[in-house]
Structure 1
Amino acid sequence: MADCSISIIIPAYNVDHYLGAALDSIKAQSELPDEVILIDDGSTDRTLEVARAYEFSVPYRVVPIENGGQGNARNIGVGMASSQYIYFFDSDDLLTENFISSIKKRIRDNQRPDIVLFSGESFNDRDYQGNRWSDYRRGFSGMYFNRAEFLDQAYSHNALFCSPCLYVSKKSLWGPDGLAFGPNFLEDEALFYPVLFACDSFLVIDEVFFLRRNREGSTMNMDLDIRHVNGALNCMESALRLYKRKSLSPRERWHVRKRLKSYCLAYVIKSKRIGASIRLKEVLIAIVKTRSLSLSTKALLYSIRADQSTPVQGIGRLLKRLARVVKG
C-alpha cells in the first residue's frame, strides 16, 4: 500500500435505495482511497446486487456474510484491510469530494497522528418526516499529544461525537489484539472512549467531510426497545472497565467519570421508558465508582419507578448503601 494509505470499510444492510449514492460519493473523490471493502450483512433486498455492479480503479471487495450486525461487519472489514489507516463509512451517507485528499495531507503534515477527528452535517432524505437534526461540528481544530488536553477541548466544545464515520484511525489500533466493535446496539458509543484511550496523538479538523442522511428506518431513528436498553448497559459497563484502569491521570479519570455517569443515567431512563427491569447491582457499582450524589438520587428514583416489583426491603438496603457511598 502507498504512503499514508486509507481503506474505507462499509457495512451494508438493506440499503439498496441509498447505497448507490454512497458509493458515488467515494468514486467522486478528488483522490481515491487506497481500498474499498463493502461487507453485505445478509441483506434481503438488492443491496448486494447494487454493490457488485460498481467498479473502482482501486481494490474493491464486496463480501456477503450472514447477518451479524453492524459491529461484526466492521470487524470483518478490519481483518481484510491492508492500509495504514481505516475509515468506517455508513452505506446510506455521503462524503465531500475532498475528504480523502484533505485527510491524507493533514496526516502527512502532522506527524501521522493515531486518530483524525473531523466535522459532519446532517441532511434530510426527501421522504423523511421526523425532526431529528444533529450538529456534528467540532468547533475547534488542533494537534494534541496529550489526551487530557484533547478531552478538555472536546468536552468544552461539546464535540465528543462517537460515530466512527467522524474519524479516521490507524489500523494498528484494531484487530484481535486491539479494538473491536461489540455485537450490541450502540456499539460505536460503547467503543468510542476505548478508541480515544488507545490513541496517544489526536488531530482535530473543524471541516465538514461527512454528510449524515436522516431517513426513515435507519438505526439512528428507530423507536426505543430492549436492544437500546442492552446497548446502554453495555456502554455503562465499557466505561466502568475503563474507569478501573490505574494508569488514568486525574484529569482523564474526571472525563471517564463524567461519561460513566451519563451512561448510567441513560441506561436507567431507557429501562424505565420501556418498562424493563433494571440491573440495580450494576447501577450501584457505577454510583460507588463515581461517588455522585446527584447520580445516586436520580438513579434511585428512576429505578423505583421503573421496577415497581422491587421489594421494599431491597429498596431499604439500597438506600443504606447509597448513604454510605455519599458519606464516604
Structure 2
Amino acid sequence: MSVVIPAYNASEFLPQTLDSVLAQTYKSMEVIVVDDGSTDDTQGCVSTFLSDSRVRYHWKENGGDGSARNEGIRISTAPYVAFVDADDLWYPDKLEKQMPLFDQKIKPGIVFSDRDLINEKGEPILGCQWPLFRGNRLYERLLIQNFVPTSAAVVAREVFKEVGMFDENIRYVCDRDFWLRASLKFPFDFVPKALEAHRKWGNQMTSNKLAFAEAALQLITRFVREHQDLIDASLESKIWSAAYARRGICLGESGRYRGALEDLLYAIRQRPTNRQAVKSLIKLVLGRL
C-alpha cells in the first residue's frame, strides 16, 4: 500500500494527519509526503517522522493538488494507492476495512467509504452519510454528485495504467474527472461507514464554492458531449438539473440574483421534482421581497 499525502503549506495539521496514517492497524505501507513547493515549515514537520522507515519526503515545484498526487503515484511502488489531504484524518481501521474488498471475485478498481466532517479544531460537525454506490456504470451517479471523497479512496494501480492519472489542467474538480474516467472501465466498491474525517474550514469563501460549481458544470458538459451514447434523455435531465441547481445556489449566495434565478428555473424545467432547486428558488424570491 502506498499512501500519498499532497502537502502545501501544511505545517499546522500535517503532523496530525501523519499520526493518523501511521496509526493504521494495516501496517504494510509506504507513506509519501509530496511537498508541493511549500513556503512554511512543512519539510520540518515531516523530518520528525522520518525515523519511521515507512515515511518518505519528496519536494516538487508548486503545481496544485492534482500535480502533487500524480508525482506521488509516479514515485510510489505498491499495487494500491491511497490519498489523504494534509489536513484530513484517517480512523485507525480505515485500510483494514477497505483492503479485503479488493480480494472479491469481481475486483473493484476503487474502494471508498463515507466520511465525517470536523472543524479547524478537530471537533465533529456532523457525520456526512454520503450516498454510497457500488458496481459498474457509476458515471451515471457521479455526473449528478461527486460522492467519492479523495481522502477516503484506495485505487488499484491498474486503474492509472488504464485511464491515466489526475488531469493537472482541471482546477477544483480533477478528482471528479478521474472518478468519471475510472467508472467507465472499472467497478467501484465501498465500506458503509465513516473511515476518515474531512476538515471543513469556516472561511471557505462563497467565491470558491461558485468556482467549484462552474468547474463542475464545465466538466459535466464535456463528459456528456464525449459520451452521449451512454446517456439517455432521462439521465441527462437529472444531470443538468443537479448541475444548474448547484450553480444557481452559489450564484444566489454571491448576490448574483439574475444568474441564480435563470439557473434555478432551468434546473426545475429539466426536473420539476428537484426539491433542492424548488426550495432554493422560493428562498431566493422571498429574499427579494
Q: TM-score by structure 2 length?
A: 0.75
CA change 1:105–1:61 in 2 (3 A) is same
Gapped regions of structure 2 (runs ≥ 5):
none
Identity of aligned residues (%): 23
Q: Deviation string for 1:237-287 (max 9, x for gaps)?
A: 21112212144154xx744652343223333443454467999xxx8xxx7
Preserved CA contact (<8 Å) 1:190 1:234: no
Deviation at 1:20, TM superposition (A): 0.8
Deviation at 1:151, TM superposition (A): 5.6
Deviation at 1:14, TM superposition (A): 2.1
Structure with greater Cα Rg: 1
Partner of 1:38: 33
Correspondence 1:214-293 to 2 at 5 A: 214-216=200-202, 221-225=203-207, 227-244=208-225, 245-248=227-230, 250=232, 254-255=234-235, 257-271=237-251, 273-274=253-254, 292=270
Partner of 1:212: 198
Correspondence 1:43-54 to 2 at 5 A: 43-54=38-49
Preserved CA contact (<8 Å) 1:26 1:97: yes
Deviation at 1:207, TM superposition (A): 2.4
Partner of 1:8: 3
Name the SS for the 1:62 alignment partner.
strand
Amino acid at match of 1:242: F
Name the SS for the 1:119 alignment partner.
strand
Gapped regions of structure 1 (runs ≥ 5):
1-5, 306-328
CA change 1:254–1:63 in 2 (3 A) is farther
Q: TM-score by structure 1 length?
A: 0.67
Moved more, 176-185 or 86-95: 176-185
Name the SS for the 1:147 alignment partner.
coil
Q: How many residues align?
A: 275
Deviation at 1:127, TM superposition (A): 7.8
Partner of 1:22: 17
Preserved CA contact (<8 Å) 2:163 2:182: no
CA change 1:232–1:273 in 2 (3 A) is same
Q: In 2, distance between residues paired with 1:108 and 1:267?
A: 40
**RMSD over aligned Cα atoms:** 4.1
Deviation at 1:119, TM superposition (A): 1.6
Deviation at 1:147, TM superposition (A): 2.2
Preserved CA contact (<8 Å) 1:181 1:188: yes
Q: Deviation string for 1:115-149 (max 9, x for gaps)?
A: 11212112334387xx9645135567xx63x426x
Deviation at 1:106, TM superposition (A): 2.1
Name the SS for the 2:155 alignment partner.
strand
